[in-house]
Structure 1
Amino acid sequence: MKGATVTLYNRPPEVQNFIEVTLALMAELAATPEAKAALAGIRDGVKRVDPQTPRSPGRQPACAHLGAALAHAAQTPQLAPLCAALEAAEPHLEWTGEERNGLASGSYAEITLLGPGGHEERRDVWLGLSLLAPHVRYPDHNHAPEEVYLALSEGDFWRETSGWFTPGTGGTFYNQPSVRHAMRSGEAPLLAIWALRRV
């Protein structure tokens, strides 16, 4: 039909639900105008579905800590629906390991749903999550897109403009483009979601 919008690609429904639940919650919890604006752009961007990259769903050794991290996060009522959505989506997702970050085996795992090297290869918006085993420091890094984090656990984050800080479970924060930043876990694993937008 002339003028109709045709969707050529589809995300698994569980993955689509996780994306929607995650970004809605991040937008609700965003504490600064910069974070709110970034998330508005990201939520608009994910309405377009790009080709899905064939992946092999599965876990990495660090995922031994996922159950404990999710159990902790789910104790925060606001995070419980997100945790349930992640548990439903996770069998469709591939965790990648620490080899590209130079970390010890079993110390780190991540999922890139949207973005470079992700389930949905794209450059405009990125969405994923990181899991650190206890007592792990993720290396300093930076990237051109602006970024919003949602912490699903305790843990510390570092930004070159402000030093180390602890957002707490359910805390969000914004990283401006190209700022150097890092994160580290303490006695418990660290689980965090990141959403990025190229500006």
Structure 2
Amino acid sequence: MSARSEALQSFVDAAFAAYDQFAQAPESRRSVGRIFAALEEPGAQRSGPGSRLPVCAHLDTALAIETEHEALRRLVDRFKTLEPLLEWRQRSNNDGSESENFVDGHANAMIVGPGGLEDRRDLWFGVTLMAPNVRYPDHDHAPEEVYLVLSDGEFRQGQGAWFSPGIGGSFYNEPKIRHAMRSAGTPLLAFWVLLANGPA
């Protein structure tokens, strides 16, 4: 198995530190602990340049966060180094709950997971970018999920009220819960980790 690239390993280390600091709910900590333990063993590496979509023009604004937290600043710096290698893609299976500007107003990139820089099936570690005033469609999936949010924006779980985690906010999505997100007047950027093989 090939060694993990320096850029990816530096990002994983920074991501672990940030998740460890901000993902405080017990179920989040359990899930994150298992995910980052699995990440200690590198997977198959993908090489070559990445690809961007037009919405990525909002990346610089989304990454220009102001925070007192060194862990978040380090995560942003490591992500900036890694981002040119990512393949940004649009979500294709939507249900009509998304905003009209969703298709061209969003992009997802898999960092570790199916089609990611490290192609593996046991976990997914990705990032979502949305232009201002875009609503992501309601969706669900079998794996549990932990978000780490690096911008303003709102999220919803099930039929609950929309809530704003804020910069550095983290929350847990239980398996199969319907959830969505939406940006406000600024771009939304959020990381998500999913334990694809489920809890023990």
Does 2:76 align with 1:83?
yes
- Report the CA distance shift for 1:161/1:11 in structure 2 as closer, same or farther (over 3 A): farther
RMSD: 1.8
Q: Secondary structure at the match of 1:77?
A: coil
Cα distance in 2 for partners of 1:115, 1:187 equals 31
Cα distance in 2 for partners of 1:192, 1:172 equals 9
Q: Secondary structure at the match of 2:35?
A: helix
State TM-score, norm by structure 1.
Answer: 0.88
How far did 1:85 drift? 0.7
Deviation per CA, 1:83-134, whole angstroms, max 9, x where unpaired? 1111111122222234555864530112101122323222211101000001
Cα distance in 2 for partners of 1:179, 1:57 equals 31
Does 2:38 align with 1:45?
yes
How far did 1:31 drift? 2.2
User: Which amino acid letter does the alignment assign opposite residue 37 of structure 1?
Assistant: R
Q: Which residue of 1 aligns with 2:136?
A: 138
User: Which amino acid letter does the alignment assign opposite residue 74 of structure 2?
Assistant: P
How far did 1:16 drift? 1.5
1:94-173 alignment to 2 at 5 Å?
A: 94-99=87-92, 101=94, 104-160=102-158, 162-173=160-171
Percent sequence identity over aligned pairs: 43
Cα distance in 2 for partners of 1:82, 1:49 equals 19
Q: Which residue of 2 aligns with 1:5?
A: none
How far did 1:58 drift? 2.2
Deviation per CA, 1:47-66, whole angstroms, max 9, x where unpaired? 12121245541211110100
Where do 5+ consecutive residues of structure 1 fail to align?
1-7
- Report the CA distance shift for 1:112/1:20 in structure 2 as closer, same or farther (over 3 A): same
- The answer as to whether partners of 1:61 and 1:105 remain within 8 angstroms in 2 is no
Task: Report the count of equivalent residues.
Answer: 190
